[in-house]
Structure 1
Amino acid sequence: MSKLEQILILDPPGDLRFRGPFTDVVTANLKLRNPSDRRVCFKVKTTAPRRYCVRPNSGLIDPGASVTVSVMLQPFDYDPNEKSKHKFMVQSILVPAGASDLEALWKDAKPDDLMDSKLRCVFEMPSDLEKVSEPESSKASSGSRAAGLSTDDAETRRLLEESKRLQAEVGKLLEENRQLKDEGLRMRKANQFDSSVSRSSAAMLSKDPASRSLPSLLVVIAALFIGFFLGKFVL
């Protein structure tokens, strides 16, 4: 006699996916639906019972009803290079009319009466988590760096403004110094001109014999005039 096909409809049908990070309990839900007109008894088994907590791990599903099984993966150190070999199996059996002792039903069930479905466990890290997992702890530090940068920017702006102010003052002082230099140069030129004129005048007087004899000539002329008038008065 061939093995009975699973009467329950499983959702998901083949893989139980657990999404990290796995530093806390991660839960995957498995929905079992009974599409038949008979009651179905089920059990959920795993190859790694210490790593998972299953609630409920067994039960009874009425015709047309469904049950959600929570499979809770316990925290562990995730290694992306390690492939998961964990598997789950959902066994089910049709409940005969009038049966009430489910434990006895499972104990007395023949292998050909059992239906089962196997599921593979898949561990996955979301792509965004894979990108963030490494710098996740650095987000706070990046925030502090941003704050530090903003503080540095304010300090830089203050230093730039102070530098501009100092440059303006230096430019003003240089302009005043240039004006003072120009004024001093003009004064020196004027003094040089005055001194050169004085020296040239003195040189001319010292070099002109006529200028030196002019007082004597005047005295002689005056004496002649005086003698002429005195002589004329006496006569």
Structure 2
Amino acid sequence: MKPDILEVQPQELKFLFELKKQSSCSVQMNNKTNQHVAFKVKTTNPKKYCVRPNTGVIDPKSTCDFTVTMQAQKAAPPDMICRDKFLVQSTVVPEGTMEEDVTSHTFAKEDGKSVDEKRLKVILLPPPDSPESSPDNGTLNLVHNNEGREIKDENVQKDSSNDKVDEGLEVLKIEGARVDAKRKEESFKRTEPVTRNEEPVTRNEEPVAKNEEPVKTIEQPVKRIEEPVKKIEEPIKRSQEYIKRNEEIIQNDTEELLLAKEVEETKLKVKELESKLNEAKATIIRLSEEKRLATQEKHFIQGELDLLRSKRHRAQVGFPLLFVFMVALVSLYLGYLLHR
């Protein structure tokens, strides 16, 4: 058997069932390992129950509670038997895992991953003032039984008195001489029921004293019923305290979320500014490179212009000398021809 990752108490969810009223039950989970454990609570009837929190991460060697709230019901189930069930899944997760990271894929049984599952049953308890749990029915039955016993005792007393009368008549038949005396005694005895009726009155006092014992015996189950009611009130108080803590945690979480959003927005703005600065630096470098190339081209063109100017100047200076030299040669040739 695989060792249990979480110890879940209690194994049965007991709800105090009352029509049109909600009922809550608290469950405690104990992480017995030296690792972080993620848990998830599932139910066969999610519309009927509300689980808070239904997922989370438990630190090593620590405990965590979750509260199950049953919604108000319009009708009671037959024989107060509920077939709803809960499943608590748990598995080891790496350190630093947050509650938002716990998903259904976390508990997928793949690659030899160990997933512990605990199944919890639902038990419905009747309210203390219901006819099923009230002790009044027991007292009424005891009173009726006592009354029946008193009636039977009176009938036995009457039967015994009638037997005595019959015996007296037989004696009178045997003793003929004393018939008148016996009849007078019988008439006297018949007038005695007024005094004998006083006896049942005193005898009726005994069952009243006896009935005090059933009342005491009835008080014991009443006390026994009050004890589970007190036990139920304790988890309700715990759940209320847990809800208050959760509300404070939610408020703190909302503030932290707002701060986190503001920090993220500022980070985005800083990133945008950095990207713009990088673009500006790139444009500056590109423009400076273009400027350098332009200056080089300018110097190159300037040099070429200087060369062209120098060549042009040389051409302008040499052309008149050649013209003069040619003219001189032509004049010498003409002079030679004339002298001949």
TM-score, L = length of structure 1: 0.49
- Report which structure shows greater RCO (CA 8 Å, sep ≥6): 1
The structure with more helix, counted as a fraction of residues: 2
Q: Which has the higher strand share?
A: 1
TM-score normalised by L of structure 2: 0.35
